[in-house]
Amino acid sequence: MRIRLGDLVDRLGGQLIGDADIEVEGIAPLDAAGASQITFLSNPKFRAQAAATRAAALILSPADDAAIGPSLAGARLVTANPYAYFARSAQLFVALYAEPAIPGIHPSACVHPDAEVDASAIVGPNATIEAKAVVGPGARVDAGSFVGRGATVGEGTHLHANVSFHAGCEIGARGIIHSGAVIGADGFGFAREGGVYIKIPQTGRVVIGDDVEIGANTTIDRGALADTIIGNGVKLDNLIQIGHNCVIGDHTAMAGCVGVAGSAKIGKHCTFGGAAMVLGHLTIVDNVHVSSGSMVSRSILEVGQYTGFYPLAKNADWEKSAVIVRNLGTMREKIRELEKIIKTLTEKK
């Protein structure tokens, strides 16, 4: 299956310079694309490489086109954001080659008679859909997944194999939840009495917006009384923990192994590097960027990039610096003593 360049531009926009009837069958990086593929230039420093491409067409920015366009043998797709254009083109080719998904409920799935599964939805082998759950039009619940009582899976949302999506939780349209993710397990809430923990029932839900992607084995806990809220367009990588009653603002992204403790309120358009941690009940405003491996122990109320991890060193060097770090108080004391002595010395003069 192939796509005409003219059709590509009709669907995705951009300016085509070249023959609209050229047909292409896929997309590949600059150095790998062949004569039946398109490729993209998203960084001007690869202009020389782009100029030498064998691809049928090159996606590039107006600036890059001005610089190298005329010298190119193939067609050009000029667009303000070549990387986004690449993403959309790749989506198009994937859809083109995908096996047709046939709606319906696999005979081995257990769908409660009081559940509501749209006729255009797909429920895979050995999946379980409990009473009063709703699976929307075009949604997919893959093999071994669980949708709890009264939960809602929005239109076109895809739960991969072995997802657990618990009672009463909701996810909007066009979402993706990867395998092993657990949405709506109980938050970690206890009262302490006489050294023993007494469970506080977690009766809130997890409410997830549209266009959200949740990575493999990521966990998002249900709220204690109020709900845990995940905004529209949020992207969570694998093995992330979101505690009960957190609020994650729209279009915030978190890399793998991030942890957010309960009741943290995180703004929109934030990014968190891998294994960053956020303590409970903190507030982080919009457009904050936290580096990998950094512990957020106070609220962040000012836009910016924040970092806090111990720099790596050869083990022997680390041991030296770690000993000094442990004893920085002593070092400061010593400096103060030196200051005093020097003050005396200079005053004597």
Contacts to a copy of itself from residues 39-98, by CB under 8 A: 81, 83-84, 86-88, 90-91, 93-94
Q: How far is the CB of 71 from a copy of itself (least distance, A)?
A: 26
- Is 158 designated active site? no
Sole binder of a copy of itself in the list 20, 52, 96, 225 (CB under 8 A)? 225
Instruction: Establish if 309 lies at the interface with a copy of itself (CB under 8 A).
Output: yes
Q: Under the criterion CB under 8 A, does residue 281 sit at the interface with a copy of itself?
A: no
Instruction: Mark the segment that binds a copy of itself (CB under 8 A) among 51-59, 60-68, 70-78, 219-227.
Output: 219-227
Q: By CB under 8 A, which span of 15-23, 49-57, 59-67, 274-282 interacts with a copy of itself?
A: 274-282
When asked if residue 253 is in the footprint of a copy of itself (CB under 8 A), the reply is yes
CB-wise, 45 or 192, nearer to a copy of itself? 192
Q: Integer distance in angstroms from the first to the last C-alpha of the chain?
A: 91
Enumerate long-range contacts of 149-158, CB under 8 Å, 24 or more apart. Answer: 151/184, 154/210
Contact between 101 and a copy of itself per CB under 8 A: no
- The answer to whether residues 220 and 205 touch, using CB atoms and an 8 Å cutoff, is no
Q: Please report whether residue 13 would count as binding a copy of itself according to CB under 8 A.
A: no
How buried is 201 (Cβ within 10 angstroms: 0-12 exposed, 13-18 middle, 19+ buried)? exposed
70 or 215, CB closer to a copy of itself? 215
Identify the burial level of 335 via C-beta atoms within 10 angstroms of its C-beta, where 0-12 means exposed, 13-18 middle and 19 or more buried: exposed
- Out of 116, 203, 281, 283, name the contact with a copy of itself by CB under 8 A: 203
Q: What's the token pair of residue 294? A: 């950094």
**Residues in 142-201 that interact with a copy of itself by CB under 8 A:** 142-144, 146, 148-149, 160-162, 164, 166, 176, 178-180, 182, 185-186, 188, 190-193, 195-201
Q: Is 221 in the site for a copy of itself (CB under 8 A)?
A: yes
Query: Judged by CB under 8 A, which stretch of 15-23, 44-52, 59-67, 296-304 contacts a copy of itself?
Result: 296-304
* Distance from C-alpha of 150 to C-alpha of 163, rounded to nearest angstrom: 16
Total residues contacting a copy of itself by CB under 8 A comes to: 126
Cβ closest to a copy of itself, residue 21 vs residue 95: 95
Please, which residue, 10 or 310, has the CB nearer to a copy of itself?
310
Asked whether position 301 contacts a copy of itself by CB under 8 A, the answer is: no
Q: Does 216 bind a copy of itself (CB under 8 A)?
A: yes
How many angstroms separate the CA atoms of 148 and 170, rounded? 10
Instruction: Give every CB contact of residue 32 below 8 A, 6+ residues apart in sequence.
Output: none
**Please, are residues 242 and 224 in contact by the beta-carbon 8 Å criterion?**
no
Short-list 146, 141, 137, 231, CA closest to 184: 146
DSSP-assigned states of every residue in 32-64? T--TTEEEE--SGGGHHHHHT---SEEEE-HHH
Q: Which is nearer to a copy of itself, 119 or 345 (CB)?
A: 345
User: Of 160, 166, 244, 251, which one is the catalytic site residue?
Assistant: 244
Residue 166, judged by CB atoms within 10 A of its CB (0-12, 13-18, 19+), counts as buried
Residue 337 CB, nearest approach to a copy of itself (Å): 9
Residue with tokens 């590039």: 60
Q: Which residue from 48, 99, 102, 347 is in contact with a copy of itself, where contact means CB under 8 A?
A: 99
Q: Which residue, 215, 133, 152, 151, is CA-closest to 182? A: 215
Catalytic residue annotation = 244
